[in-house]
Amino acid sequence: MRDQGTGRPQWISVDLHAVCRIGWIRLTFEGDASEPLFAPHATGHPRCGTTAREIRSSYPLEFVVEASTDHCAWTSVYRTAAGTGGVVNIQPVRPVAGRWVRMTSLRRSSSHPLGLSGFEVYGTAGERRPAGAVLGALPDRSGPRDPAAIRAVRP
């Protein structure tokens, strides 16, 4: 997800193709609070005075993650006003029913475009899930252990 640096709230949603029990969400932002922010050199040349570690995207300082079964009424799953970017693992207190999961950035870390490079949703698949849906074990040890976990990824 890349916005145009407008400063308006930006959102992205993932369609799981059936109502599922959502147990865990992972957001991966291009930058985090530990990385220096890109600032153009006084000469105006984009490569002068940089270390090649600066980032040219922002991450949300304030954002909300919501789920919906009908794409109209949304239930808040997670909300923060202290976002740090990087990888954000969200595990609700109890699984949430939803077909759609949406992340809305309300305030960014800088005026640079918002950079979201991963949006993963894990949980238990609904009964009427399409045959082409990705099903299987979670890819690493940091998430819940559910052999029938769903995985939806949208960059």
At 39-83, the pLDDT tens digits run 666 776 666 666 655 567 889 999 999 999 999 999 999 999 999
- The predicted pLDDT at position 38 comes to 63
What percent of the chain shows pLDDT beyond 90?
A: 48
| Helix or strand run (H / E) with residue 17 | strand 10-32
Per-residue CA distances from 11 to 2, 14, 60, 115, 121 (Å): 10, 10, 11, 12, 16
Q: What is the pTM of this model?
A: 0.72
At 121-147, the pLDDT tens digits run 999 987 665 555 554 444 444 444 443
- The predicted pLDDT at position 138 comes to 43
